[in-house]
Amino acid sequence: MSITKNRAVAEDIVREAFLRLWQHRHEYAQLYNVRAWLFTVTSNLSLTYIKKMALEGNLLRQLAPDTSSRATEAEERLHYKESGLLLHEAMLRLPPQQQEVYRLSRYEELSIPEIAERLHLSPNTVKNHLVKALQSVRGFIRGTGAFFIQL
């Protein structure tokens, strides 16, 4: 709810997270901390929702309806384009394997086991690549001083 600012969307995301846990319960039988896993999944799903909204040009209207009335449509489009370009530039700075893992995870929304199967890598290798990629992307974004969601 704190990420999406929309109760219905937040409820859908929580349902999706529990559905994924249920569907993959055999894979996650060894899961040490279910609460942390659910937090991570719901956070990732929420951020994926925000990215989709930004790409569709609906982010400001969804997060802060009064903000969209102050900003012109051209300013909104420019902000979304700049955010997308910044994220794309951060991704291009990753090593090729991390780029591919990041792309499959964030844009195609594949799970770690699915990515591992597609790239013929172990799930631990995929997870390590993804962690490093996310750290690099966040570091790059922080280094630019940019903030994606400005309310």
Condensed to tens digits (0 to 9), the pLDDT of residues 94-108 reads 999 998 998 888 878
In the chain, ranges of CATH 1.10.10.10 domains? 61-151
Class of domain 61-151: mainly alpha
Angle at alpha carbon of residue 100, lines to 99 and 104, rounded to 5°: 120
Q: Check whether 2 has a pLDDT greater than 50.
A: yes
Condensed to tens digits (0 to 9), the pLDDT of residues 30-75 reads 767 778 878 888 888 888 888 777 776 655 555 555 544 445 555 5
Give the integer Cα–Cα distance in Å for 132 and 112: 14
Task: Tell me which residue of 30, 44, 18 sits closest to 124, measured CA to CA.
Answer: 30
Condensed to tens digits (0 to 9), the pLDDT of residues 66-103 reads 544 445 555 555 555 556 667 777 888 899 999 899 88
CA distances in angstroms from 119 to 97, 101, 147, listed in the order given? 9, 8, 32
**pLDDT at residue 4 in the model:** 76
- The backbone torsions φ and ψ at residue 28, rounded to the nearest 5 degrees and listed phi first, read -100, 15
